[in-house]
Amino acid sequence: MTAPDSAPAPQANNPLHGVTLEAMVTALADFYGWDGLGERIPVRCFNIDPSVTSSLRFLRKTPWAREKVEGLYLFMLREQRRRGG
């Protein structure tokens, strides 16, 4: 009988694996701009005096907003692939 492997299964098909929340927010702000990001996810940290730091502080405490950021990040990746860049 073999011991169970304690290492997590590889997540080769998970595009979020290894991507930090900071990297997601930065990429989204670069791609859409803060105004565009605030239109797509209408939260104060994107609309009023936006910054990566304030956004991270809010998103780490707010699971529903983090899920929206992750979803928009995945959508952005698909858009970039579709556009070829």
Whichever domain contains 30, its CATH number is 1.10.720.30
Q: Could you tell me the two tokens for 81?
A: 């692939």
Give the count of domains, the chain: 1
CA distances from 84 to 15, 19, 45, 79, 81 (A): 17, 21, 30, 8, 5
- pLDDT-derived band at 84, boundaries 50, 70, 90: confident
Provide the terminal-to-terminal Cα distance of the chain, rounded to the nearest Å.
49
Name the residue range of residue 54's domain.
Answer: 21-83
Within-domain flag for 66: yes
DSSP state at residue 79: H
On whether residue 7 sits in a domain, the answer given is no
In this prediction the pTM is 0.82
User: 22-70 pLDDT, tens per residue?
Assistant: 999 999 999 999 999 999 999 999 999 999 999 999 999 999 999 999 9
30 vs 6, higher pLDDT:
30
Give yes or no for a contact between 58 and 45, defined as CB atoms under 8 angstroms apart: yes
Domain-located, residue 2: no
28 inside domain: yes
Q: What is the pLDDT of residue 7?
A: 57
